[in-house]
Structure formats: C-alpha cells, structure tokens
Structure 1
Amino acid sequence: MKLTVEFSGGLELLFGGKKNIALDVIFKNKAVMSELLVWMRDNLVTERPDLFMKSETVRPGILVLINEADWELCGTLDAELKEGDNVVFISTLHGG
C-alpha cells in the first residue's frame, strides 16, 4: 500500500533527517495505524525509537494527522488506512 508520511517539530531527526517519505508498506494483518507505527519503528526510525513510540503508540506530545484530520477523530490506533493516504507526525515537545 502506497502512503506518504511527513515529520515536523524535530521528529524528522529520528528518521534520518527526512521530512517526507513515500512508503510502499505490506501490512501483516489489517492496514491500520497500529500496524503502521510498528512497521515505521522497525523499518524507518534511525535512532532513539523510544522518542517516537511508548509501548504500542506514539509518545505523548506527538500529534498525528491522517489526511489532515486528527487521528483521534479517525479511530487512533484502529484508524483504517487507504491507498494514497497522507499521515503527518508533529512533535509539540521542545527542550528549554
């Protein structure tokens, strides 16, 4: 399944400095966000996966949008993904 993922707010540093990545993912079970997150952790994160995920979901402070809609409106981890979807991850956490 072809998807596009985007990173901002510093998250791109965990993904080799890439802000946009075109993916072609083969899901093991269903094409849902929980499967995508595990796939991304195992295949895309280049450093510190603990800063991206906590347990089986994204860490608190990371906004997730699916086709410009908050993933909480789409079903969070159970949100179904379709061919061509755009998933955006935005970190709201900043050091000081």
Structure 2
Amino acid sequence: MAAPLSIQLEFGGGAELLFDGIRKHQVTLPSQPEPWDIRSLLAWIKENLLKERPELFVQGDTVRPGILVLINEADWELMGELDYQLQDQDNVVFISTLHGG
C-alpha cells in the first residue's frame, strides 16, 4: 500500500483560472494500492481540484497539448512523463502556454 503523499501543485500561465484563480495548492494524496504517478495525479486533480472546463486542462489521461509540466523544476519529459512516480514533497507545476485571442 502506497502511503499518503504531501505534494505542492502550482498552476500558471492562465491554467490557474480553471482552479478558482488559486495558483498554489498544498495537497495530500490518500493511500492507494499502487504508487502515485502523474497519470493518477491528473485523474485526482480532475476529480478534486478542477473547477471548470476540464477539456482545457486534460485530454484523455494526459494534459492537453500546450500545457508545460515541471516536476521539481525539471521538464516532465526528462522524468518519464505520465509514468513518473511521485515522491513526498514533490513540486509539480502546470503552465499553460495557450493564450486566447
């Protein structure tokens, strides 16, 4: 059983507007049988934090194109993307590079 994890989530570049305008969230992910990874984190965010228009944040089981994801200040592409296993005290940042016009 994976223990609960305390992580910090940050949303920027307009992504915070989907989360009541709140940029930083300190969250505790509950215990679950499998280790937490980014894929399960995204499902949890969609279920628990996302306030509106999920199609602007997620697409299928990943973030939609145009959202940059940083894990502890490193590009998630270097960390294994959806398969990265979260560690206690990780900092995960989502920055939207999409701008309306």
Q: Any stretches of 5+ residues in structure 1 without a counterpart? A: none
Q: Any stretches of 5+ residues in structure 2 without a counterpart? A: none
Runs of 4+ in structure 1 off by over 4 angstroms are none
How far does the alpha carbon of each residue in 1:50-90 deviate from its partner, in whole angstroms, 9 at most, with x for none? 11000000000000000000001000000111000000000
Counterpart selection for 1:25 from 4, 11, 29: 29
RMSD of aligned C-alpha atoms?
0.8
Matched, 1:13 2:17: yes
Matched, 1:83 2:77: no
Question: What is the CA-CA distance between 1:27 and the residue it aligns to?
Answer: 5.0
Q: Distance in 1 between matches of 2:94 and 2:50?
A: 13
Which residue type is aligned with residue 57 of structure 1? T
Which residue type is aligned with residue 33 of structure 1? I
Question: What is the CA-CA distance between 1:95 and the residue it aligns to?
Answer: 1.3
TM-score where L is the length of structure 1: 0.97
Question: What is the CA-CA distance between 1:26 and the residue it aligns to?
Answer: 1.4
TM-score where L is the length of structure 2: 0.92
Say how many residue pairs are matched.
96
Higher alpha-carbon deviation: 26-35 or 4-13: 26-35
Matched, 1:3 2:7: yes
